[in-house]
Amino acid sequence: MNKLRKGLGRGLSSLIGETKKNNSINKVSINDLFKNRYQPRKIFDETKLQELVNSIQERGILQPIVVRNHNNIEGKYEIIAGERRWLAAKKAGLAEVPVVITEADDLKSLEFSIIENVQRDDLNPLEEAQSYQRLIDEFSYDHEKVSKFIGKSRSYITNSLRILTLPQKVLNLIEERKITSGHAKILVGLDNAEFIAEKIFNKKLSVRQAENFVKIFKKKNSLKSRDTNVQSLENSLIEKIGLKVIINNNKRNSGSIKIEYKNLEQLDRIIETLKKNY
């Protein structure tokens, strides 16, 4: 891989064209195929899978499954692209399936799987984020490289990966497609993400409605928790140093003071003030 590929911009067929492959379509036993270790999809829609089963029973498999030689078992193959076709073929009772055999390393195998699924919008937001994280963790990609390969903006990749920071219960709702990626982005960074996610699902809130709900919830909690004495102290400090100050004071009267600065000059001012007085 001497040059960075454009991924989705060039398509699955282009990626296949960059590998050494047997151009002929081979028929192999369905039992000689194994699922892709790098398959990002965890959930296959049963209704759509059954529709594919019905189609295969009537017309057979129209597009061959792309495979590579299995690393550990001679004479067996690992699926690179077409796992859903393979599952449907098994359900349809086929003994053999058409395949194209290609030489692909682990990175190429993962790239194939991501491209195939993202192109067809088959991945839920969690599976998509996990596949990008795998490129980063296992193959030393950074956000910029993932962005160029997938053909999406860097901010899209970064926001996608932030979903992985959500609590497991929220991730389960995303995986089951009970809430969308738009909902998930709203929940990132919230202390009460699980509570909000349940409200979104139970009340069937749109993304816009969820955003408004979070704003109202934050405002109510802010009004409840803010102490007038603390606010007075904040205002006094703001007037003295000319910078935004936030005091977080808990019930035991311990906490933190946050002073926000926008440039190095303001930071120097804070440091000099502390040095002079302490």
pLDDT digit string (tens) for 9-40? 444 454 455 555 555 678 899 999 998 877 77
Within the chain, all domains assigned CATH 3.90.1530.10 are found at 7-123
Nearest to 193 by CA among 206, 184, 202, 181: 184
* Residue 228, both tokens: 């007038």
Residue 11: per-residue pLDDT: 46
Residue 10: per-residue pLDDT: 43
pLDDT digit string (tens) for 69-82? 888 788 899 988 88
Hey, is 72 helix, strand or coil? Answer: coil
Span 203-230, average pLDDT: 76
Residues known to be catalytic: 83
The dihedrals phi and psi of 237, each to the nearest 5 degrees, come to: -70, -40
pLDDT digit string (tens) for 241-272? 777 788 888 777 888 888 888 778 788 878 88
Q: Is the pLDDT of residue 88 over 80?
A: yes
What is the rounded CA–CA span in Å between residue 36 and residue 66? 11
pTM > 0.85: yes or no? no
Span 222-236, average pLDDT: 70
Residues near 208 by Cβ (< 8 Å), separated by ≥ 6? none
The dihedrals phi and psi of 145, each to the nearest 5 degrees, come to: -70, -40
Span 180-208, average pLDDT: 90
pLDDT digit string (tens) for 102-155? 888 888 878 877 777 666 666 788 888 888 888 888 888 889 888 888 888 888
What is the rounded CA–CA span in Å between residue 113 and residue 130? 12
Residue 24: per-residue pLDDT: 65
Within the chain, all domains assigned CATH 1.10.10.2830 are found at 166-225
Residues near 71 by Cβ (< 8 Å), separated by ≥ 6? 78
What is the pLDDT of the chain when averaged over all its residues? 80
DSSP labels, 30-61: GGGEE--TT-------HHHHHHHHHHHHHH--
Please name the helix (run of DSSP H) or strand (run of DSSP E) that holds residue 248, with its range, or none.
strand 245-249
Residue 12: per-residue pLDDT: 46
With b meaning 16 or more CB within 10 Å and e meaning fewer, what string describes 171-193? bebbbeebbbbebbbbbeebeeb
Q: Is the pLDDT of residue 5 over 70?
A: no
Domain 166-225 in CATH 1.10.3720.10? The answer is no
Residue 197: per-residue pLDDT: 93
Which CATH code of 3.20.20.210, 3.40.50.300, 3.90.1530.10, 3.20.20.100 fits the domain covering 7-123? Answer: 3.90.1530.10
* Residue 38, both tokens: 């790098």
Residue 269: per-residue pLDDT: 79
